[in-house]
A = this chain, B = another copy of it.
Amino acid sequence: MNMNMMEAKESRAKHWLSYRSELKVLDCTIRDGGLMSDHHFDDKIVKAVYQACVDAGIDYMELGYKASKRIFSPTEYGRWKFCDEEDIRRIVGENDTSLKLSVMADAERTDYHVDILPRDQSVLDMIRVATYIHQIPAAMDLLKAAHDKGYETSINLMAISTIQEWELDEALEIMADSETEAIYLVDSFGAFYSEQTQYLARKYLRHAVPRGKVVGMHAHNNQQLAYANTIEAIILGANMLDASIGGLGRGAGNCPLELLLGFLHNPKFRLRPILQCIQEHIEPLRAELHWGFDIPYMITGLLNQHPRSAMMFNSSDDRMDIVKFFDTVIEEE
C-alpha cells in the first residue's frame, strides 16, 4: 500500500469515527406527525417527546404550526396547528433546558403580525417558514417579520421536485439574500434518489455557504430513502437535519430520529431516551395514525406525486387492495 492510499484510508477512517460538532438535529415528530392527526395530540404525548428530546441531547424540537385561526377552525384542528404560547408553556414551562423550540409558519396561512409574539414574550427560539415557490414573496415578508421580532429563522421551500430548475435557482438567490439562517432542502414527496439529493444539496450549498447560511435536510420515506438521503446531505455538508421519533410524519413519514442518532457519533446524543419514547408513546399511535412506509406511499413517491391520494386510500375500506390503487394512479398519470 502506498502512502497516498494509506492517507486516503486514514482520512476516511477519521471521517467515519469522528463527528461534526456544528451539526444540529431538529425533532419534527409533533409538527410533521400532526399532519396525520389534524394536530390533535394529548399533552402526555407532547410532554413525552419534549422530555425524550431533552434527555437525548437533541438541538431543536418543533411543536407544530402557527396557522391562522381565520383560515383554519380551532374546533376542527388540534391545538398544535396553532401553538398558542399558553399551550406551549403548559408543556415546557420556561423551557429551562438546552433544547431549543421551533414552530413552522406557512406562507400566506399565518397571521404573523399578531400570532408571532416578540421573542422576549415567548419560549420559542425559532420560526421555520414553509413555502411553495409561488409564495416566495409572502414567505420573505413572514421570515423578515420573525427575524425582526428576534427569532432564529429558516426556510423550507416545498415540492421542488415539481418545479423548473430556473425557478429553483431564482428562489435560491432570493432565499440566500434573506435574513434566514438556514435553507432547507425538502423532499416533500419522497421522490429523490441519492443522485438527485447530491445534485440538489450541492446546489443549495453553493448558494447558502458563501452567504454564511446553513443548509438543512428534510426528507420523506416514501421509497425508504429518507435516512439514506439525509446521510448523503450530511456527507456533502448539510448541518441542520430534520428527523422524527419512529419516523412519525405525513404519509410515509420522516427520517427516523433513532436511525439518525445511530449514524451521528457526537457523544452528546443518546439513543435510549428515544427508544423509551417510541415504546411507550409513539408505537401505540401507529394503529390509529397509519404513518410509515407502505406500497401506496411508495407509488406516489415513485411517480413524484403529493401523497394525498395514498393518504385517502389508506384511510378507505380498500386499503389492502394496493393493486387497485396502483391501477388508479397509473391511469390518472
Docked-complex contact A258 and B295, CB < 8 angstroms: yes
A232 to B193, CA, bound (A): 10
Which residues in B have their C-beta under 8 angstroms from that of A327? 272
Of residues 274 to 333 in A, which have CB atoms within 8 Å of B's CB atoms? Answer: 275-276, 278-279, 283, 295, 298, 302, 320-323, 326-327
Additional pairs, 9, CB under 8 Å, beyond known A224-B228, A272-B323, A272-B326: A12-B195, A16-B196, A193-B263, A194-B231, A262-B298, A272-B327, A275-B322, A278-B322, A279-B322
> Is A83's CB within 8 Å of the partner chain B?
no
> Is there contact, CB below 8 Å, between A295 and B322?
no
A residues at B contact (CB < 8 Å): 12, 15-16, 193-196, 199, 221, 223-229, 231-232, 235, 256, 258-259, 262-263, 271-272, 275-276, 278-279, 283, 295, 298, 302, 320-323, 326-327
Of the A-B pairs whose beta carbons lie under 8 Å apart in the complex, a sample of 10, sorted by A's number, is A15-B195, A193-B263, A223-B259, A224-B227, A227-B228, A228-B228, A262-B298, A275-B295, A278-B295, A279-B323
Q: Are B262 and A302 in contact (CB under 8 A)?
A: yes
User: CA separation between A276 and B321, bound complex, in Å?
Assistant: 9
Establish whether residues B224 and A256, one from each chain, have CB atoms under 8 Å apart when the complex forms: yes
Tell me what chain A mostly uses at the interface: helix, strand, loop, or mixed.
helix
Closest Cβ–Cβ distance, residue A14 to chain B (whole Å): 12
Q: By CB atoms of chain B within 10 A, which of A195, A226, A228, A322 has the most? A: A228
Q: Flag if B276 contacts A323 (CB, 8 Å).
A: yes
Point out the residues of chain B lying under 8 angstroms from A221, CB to CB. 224
Contact B227 A223 (CB under 8 A): yes
When A and B form their complex, which 6 residue pairs have the shortest distance between CB atoms, in order from nearest?
A228-B228, A262-B302, A275-B323, A276-B323, A224-B227, A279-B322
A193 to B259, CA, bound (A): 11
Contact of A258 among B15, B263, B271, B298 (CB under 8 A): B298
Taking the closest CB of chain B, its distance from the CB of A197, in whole angstroms, is 10
Contacts of A322 in B (CB 8 A): 275, 278-279
B contact residues around A225 at 8 Å (CB): 227-228
Alpha-carbon separation in the docked complex, A202 to B272 (Å) = 35
Q: Which residue of B lies closest to A263 (CB)?
A: B193
- The reply to whether A199 and B271 contact each other, CB–CB distance below 8 Å, is no
Contact B224 A259 (CB under 8 A): yes
Q: How far is the CA of A320 from the CA of B276 in the complex (A)?
A: 11
CB pair B199–A12 under 8 Å, yes or no, is: yes
